[in-house]
Amino acid sequence: TGYITHDPGFVNTGAASSAITYIDGDAGILRYRGYPIEQLAEKSTFIEVSYLLIYGELPTETQLAEFTGKIQRHTLLHEDLKAFFSGFPRDAHPMPVLSSAVSALSTFYQDSLNPFDEANVELSTIRLLAKVPTLAAYAYKKSVGQPLLYPDNSLGLVENFLRMTFGFPAEPYEVDPDVAKALDLLFILHADHEQNCSTSTVRLVGSSEANLFASISAGINALFGPLHGGANSAVLDMLEGIQAEGGDVANFVTRVKNKEKGVRLMGFGHRVYKNYDPRAKIIKNTADDILSKLKGGDQLLDIAKKLEETALSDDYFIERKLYPNVDFYTGLIYRALGFPTKYFTVLFALGRLPGWIAHWREMIQDPATKIGRPRQIYTGYASRDYAPISER
Ligand code: CMC
């Protein structure tokens, strides 16, 4: 009290204590609930990781079956909610469409908005995990003008999402197991990352005791920005730009170093990692595998690798400890799986959803939580007198 720490960007501010995710940015370590990301990436599944993040432990077989079953029972949307998608322009960006639709869930489930009613929070949790993939698939379908599909609850979460996105009514849709596996892995790697911009947003909005749907909708909007989740689309635009100009990677890096307005090496740098992002390491290997399997290679991947190599041997990036982050190689994989560039950040949102939910629940249960309300350093006029409009 009386003394305000000025910390723009909250670089040194610990706003919460949390038992969910551990990062050591200098060593390049990431763990969910104590489990190394490398082990989860290799051995676990997205649904299991979602359970782990939200409830704190890996599920037993019975718990997993029950959790999966509950989610499957809630994948349908209220028919009236589908009308929502017709209101947006066809070329609307799918991120604001998704955040609006998630916000609208508060209007459909008014019975379950009390943040302190544990049964209701549990129901909202399941509804979100079940319905957000359906909403995301519908955002895609609307953007390409194709008919919406009902969920097929005999399928797993990722398979169901792929079918609703790329399938057609009355036509069988064979889920390619390589595609499903790659997407499941990417969702695991995105599932949580402690107090990042969108998660902090979810916690901040939730600290006013706003309901879970409203808080997650705000998180989706925070994720939209190109310095956060929007970076995955921006990386692909950047790679295509370099390709269109003849693949001159060195020239692009020079422009970045000269700090030309609007030119950043997208997918590089991180507030916490001052070492190789452990997620990027896993994703880089996956990109190699999946792109050679699905496309027989990719010229943009070659450009990305050359870009990484050039940057990592340059003093500008070494001095500033700038390494590839999670977004550097993901876009190439999403593209190979058939997603348009504009849609990449929606996939990030699907992956991050269990993390947001876990943080909101942790925040609401923590007796130390207070409404988030930063202070400021006032720099305006001290005091002045009102002048009538004729005298200004
Ligand atoms: N390209 C060129 N220079 C960079 C970059 C970059 N990508 N990132 C940081 N720098 C420079 C920056 O100009 C500054 O240099 P100087 O000291 O000469 O002014 C120095 O490195 C420190 O950067 P900062 O902006 O103070 O770092 P920050 O912690 O505030 O920002 C960041 C972190 C991720 C927003 C930033 O690195 C960035 O804009 N990266 C590109 C966008 C991106 O890839 N975002 C995804 C982040 S990871 C996952 C996610 O959240 O989605």
CATH number of the domain at 231-337, out of 1.20.120.1200, 2.60.120.620, 1.10.230.10, 2.102.10.10? 1.10.230.10
Count CA atoms closer than 13 A to 293's CA, side-chain side. 14
Write the single-letter amino acid at 165. Answer: T
Catalytic residue list: 270, 327
Q: Give the other-Cβ count within 10 Å of 366's Cβ.
A: 15
Report percent pLDDT > 90 for the chain.
Answer: 91
Pocket test for ligand 1, best of 26, 270, 277 (most atoms within 8 A of CB): 270
pLDDT attached to residue 316: 96
23 backbone dihedrals φ, ψ, rounded to 5°: -125, 130
Average pLDDT over residues 1-11: 87
Burial tier of 9 (Cβ tally within 10 Å: 0-12, 13-18, 19+): exposed
CATH number of the domain at 17-226+349-365, out of 3.40.190.10, 1.10.580.10, 3.30.2270.10, 2.60.40.10? 1.10.580.10
Q: Spell out the domain ranges in the chain.
A: 17-226+349-365, 231-337
Query: For ligand 1, which residues put their CB under 6 angstroms from it?
Result: 9, 196, 227-229, 231, 256, 264-271, 320, 322, 325-327
Burial tier of 169 (Cβ tally within 10 Å: 0-12, 13-18, 19+): exposed
**DSSP string for residues in 333-375:** HHHHHT--GGGHHHHHHHHHHHHHHHHHHHHHH-TT-------
Parallel, antiparallel, or unpaired: how do β-strands 35-36 and 29-32 relate? antiparallel
Helix/strand/coil for 35: strand
Q: How far is the CA of 167 from the centre of ligand 1 (A)?
A: 38
192-237 pLDDT, tens digit each: 999 999 999 999 999 999 999 999 999 999 999 999 999 999 999 9
Q: Do domains 17-226+349-365 and 231-337 have the same CATH topology?
A: no
Q: Give the other-Cβ count within 10 Å of 311's Cβ.
A: 21
Q: Rounded distance, CA 211 to CA 167, Å?
A: 33
The better pLDDT of the pair 288, 362 is held by 362
Q: Which two tokens stand for residue 129?
A: 């995990």
Average pLDDT over residues 119-123: 96
Average pLDDT over residues 6-17: 95
Residue 295 pLDDT > 80, yes or no?
A: no
275-289 pLDDT, tens digit each: 999 999 999 999 988
Average pLDDT over residues 21-31: 97
Q: Whose CA is nearest to atom 36 of ligand 1?
A: 269
Q: How far is the CA of 271 from the centre of ligand 1 (A)?
A: 7
Q: How far is the CA of 268 from the centre of ligand 1 (A)?
A: 7
Note the pTM of the prediction, 2 decimals: 0.96
60-116 pLDDT, tens digit each: 999 999 999 999 999 999 999 998 888 999 899 999 999 999 999 999 999 878 999
Average pLDDT over residues 238-250: 95
